[in-house]
Chains A and B, each alone.
Chain A
Amino acid sequence: MDLLSFKASESLTLGVELELQLVDLSDFDLASGALDLLRLLERRSIQATVSPELTASMIEISCGIFRDWLEMREHLRRVRDDLVAAADWLNLGICGGGTHPFQRWHKRRIFKSDRFIKVSELYGYLAKQFTVFGQHIHVGCADGDTALRLLHALHSYIPHFIALSAASPFFQGVDTQFDSARLNSIAAFPLSGRAPYFLHWDRFCKEYFEPMLTTKIVRSMKDFYWDIRPKPEYGTIELRICDTPLNVDHAALIAGYMQLLCRWLLVSDCQPTEQEVMVYSFNRFQACRFGWEGSYVDPQTHKTMSIRDSFTYTVARCKAEVGCLSDAEQACIDILESIGTDESDASKLKSVYRQQGTLEDVVQFSMDHFRTASHAGSTVSA
């Protein structure tokens, strides 16, 4: 397929990718078990694409396409159960979370594949430091122009997604005092950050993507590590800012919020402006550092409020302005309205560390939580 053409897809459909940690059950450090797990999964039927990631202690599961988050949640639960059973067979632990609390980057092994070896040669030690775990959410777009419009409009709400998914307070054995320390690892890559401001697909291709391809700095959209990037071959935009949450129910809920937000942005005919870039980095940092308690500067009004207040206000606006809500959207809003007052994943991990005293206990909690926990709204049926 032509790298420059945007494949149309059904508007607001959802897809998700989750990067997961593989854990040694003896010392709770990361285990280089990706290849063994993938080989075992080849022999078992699993309703997801499971693929290796940059280092051998990571795997990525990809599921799609879903009409709503409840459908996604049911699917993710089945995939989670299959994964846990396979990992159990191999004496491996498996969990979510944006970082492993105490792994040492220099002990990681690059997964043996041509692409990862080339990435490793290019980025040196950064490649091993990239052993962090994120959730990527895809939202279907009817055309490239809509994709870019949504992509830039969503930048204003990035702090919500960071606070909602933050699950990486510990990194390399220390309490970073961040809620999401994972994003600091990504910031070191030259092609990370915010996508360049283009609102029309043709112009984006002609003035940015095509010249970048000719420089051979990138070979496809996959080489950009932007917080949100278009994925023309799927006909989606991909939000890459989230930490992998501690359980799949929460992952599906975040996808539900993204879908709701996109629907609201389309209904309200949003027109993003370039000046929103001004406060983007500040808001993003506040969300990483303080989570819900971080400061949020509204890009349009320049008023300051907490990220929690901004989130609550946005959910209320979605509820009021989207119009007729589906059952799934209503269920999503019900949970989102209460989630701002719930403990975030990052707070839960910090709390376990305070109570139990060791980072091994934090990993144990993450594994238990991934295996069993359901979101507070899990009783809501589709």
Chain B
Amino acid sequence: MLIAWFCGEWWLRWGSPRVLTYSIVGLVLGPGLHWIDPVAIPQGRYITDFAMGLALFEIGFRLNPVWLARNRWVIVTSVGESIATYVAVLGCGIAANLSLLQSSILASLCVATSPISVLRVTRDAQSSGQVTNLILTMSALNSLAAILLFKGSVGIGLHSTSDNNIPLRGAVLFIVLSSIGLAILAAMAFAVVRKWIVMPQDSVAFTIALYVGCVTFAADWARLSPALATIVLGIAFRALDIKITGKYQDFGSFGRFGTIFLYLYVSAGISFLAAWQGLYLGLFVVLVRAATKIGMCTFMSKPLGATTRKGFLAGLGLMPVSVFGLIVLEQANQLGMPRFGIFPQFASIALCLEILGPLATSLAIRWSGEHLD
């Protein structure tokens, strides 16, 4: 982690996003030199869940329902690019002889834009403006869509393939509804407590981080979906008008620590051999996914209130997927759902977009001129 941190700070001087450096260090030290073996630290997943939970909470909190109601083209664009991506990748999977279930799982993961990647890249650039706003909002929306599509694919797919999985099939719906319920209840409880307790501004980030951690581990303990619970928690905080004062972004040292660990842990877990096996389909899916996301955002730029160029850049900024997809896959695996045999294909996509994703977001922000000088 020290090496990753040092390299991250060093390369930031040349404009390289920190998370990109963490990924490269993770790939070099993990599958490259075999210095890190995630299998040897099974407790690591608690830290990764926590770090991902913080990012999902933050991006859920940024989702402004009032804006979505006023400018409905944002939802239309997001739903459009999610459906286009899902259908296109599903088609790729079927054409490459994957089963319908495998193709659907792969497609649902590709719908997402990794929230932690776009958050960290925009924070590194200290960016503010329309492209940044669209990237973050659409990342929240399509991550939510991806989780629901993923769970739906698992539920429906298992139903159609084997009767032995009936308990699991029923559990999927239970997991989705219970995760949402847990998050809403947790947000309501926080709103009540917040009225009674005066929280000093400098301790807000710490308190929220602890609370998000509690919800993450509660969801994990109850065998629900921590990813879904934390993103809904953020949305519910916003909907209940709970104002988070001070600098909650990144959640200070908690967030930094979690981010470095998460990227190292996830990158180190990628198998070069698996990625090689799924290389052709993986690369093709990366291109198709880029085309659908960039194409849809560019096409919808005018109704969104943006220029064509900014629409294009918003689409380009939606490239990162790796960390989020791998964590969702891993969380499902922990719940007893198998990886559905799509790990090689997704490993290729993840490997490719571990590098290109943050780079694309960083370039989108730089080219839009929204970064701090």
A residues in contact (CB < 8 Å) with B: 24-28, 31-33, 35-36, 39-40, 56-57, 88-91, 107, 109-110, 112, 357-361, 364
**Which B residues are within 8 Å of any A CB, using their own CB?**
61-62, 64, 66-67, 70-71, 126, 128-130, 133, 137, 198, 201, 238, 243-245, 248-249, 305-307, 310, 369-370, 372-373
CB contacts (< 8 Å) of B64 on chain A: these are: 25-26, 91
Which residues of chain B come closer than 8 Å to A357, judged between CB atoms?
Answer: 198
CA–CA, A8 and B160, complex, Å: 84
User: B134's closest neighbor in chain A, by CB?
Assistant: A91
Bound complex: CA A90 to CA B73 (Å): 11
**A25 CB contacts on chain B under 8 angstroms:** 64, 66-67
Chain A residue with the shortest CB-CB distance to B71: A89
Q: Which residues of A contact B201 (CB under 8 A)?
A: 358
> Is B67 within 8 A of A109, CB to CB?
no
**Total contacts A to B, CB within 8 angstroms?**
64
Docked-complex contact A32 and B128, CB < 8 angstroms: yes
How near does chain A come to B17, taking the closest CB pair, in angstroms? 18
Q: Judging by beta carbons under 8 Å apart, are A31 and B129 in contact?
A: yes
B305 and A33 within 8 A (CB) = no
- Indicate whether A88 sits within 8 Å of B130 (C-beta atoms), given known contacts A39-B307, A358-B243, A360-B245: no
Given contacts A36-B130, A110-B373, 8 further A-B contacts (CB under 8 A): A24-B128, A31-B129, A33-B129, A35-B129, A35-B369, A89-B305, A90-B130, A358-B201
The answer for the CA separation of A25 and B136 in the assembled complex, in Å, is: 13
Report the bound CA distance from A310 to B283 in whole Å. Answer: 76
Q: Which residues from chain B contact A33 at a C-beta distance below 8 Å?
A: 128-130
Bound-state Cα–Cα, A26 to B129, Å: 13
Chain B residues touching A, majority SS: loop
B residues within 8 A CB of A36? 129-130, 305-306, 310
**CB-defined contacts of A57 to chain B, threshold 8 Å:** 128
Partner of A107, one of B71, B126, B129, B248: B126
- Cα(A315)–Cα(B238), bound, Å: 47
* Residue picked from A112, A358, A359, most chain B C-beta under 10 Å: A358
Is B71 a contact of A91 with CB atoms below 8 Å? yes
Q: Nearest chain B CB to A200's CB is how many angstroms away? A: 45
Q: How far is the CB of A135 from chain B (nearest CB, A)?
A: 25
Q: A32-B128, A33-B130, A107-B372 are in contact. Are A91 and B67 (CB under 8 A)?
A: yes
**Could you write out 28 A-B pairs with CB less than 8 Å apart?**
A24-B128, A25-B67, A26-B64, A27-B248, A28-B243, A32-B128, A32-B370, A33-B130, A35-B129, A35-B369, A36-B129, A36-B130, A36-B305, A36-B306, A36-B310, A88-B67, A88-B71, A89-B71, A90-B71, A90-B305, A91-B64, A91-B67, A109-B128, A109-B373, A358-B243, A360-B243, A360-B244, A360-B245
Most buried by B among A28, A32, A40, A360: A32
Query: Which single residue of chain B is at the shortest CB-CB distance from A106?
Result: B372
Interchain CB contact (< 8 A) of A26 among B61, B70, B130, B310 = B61
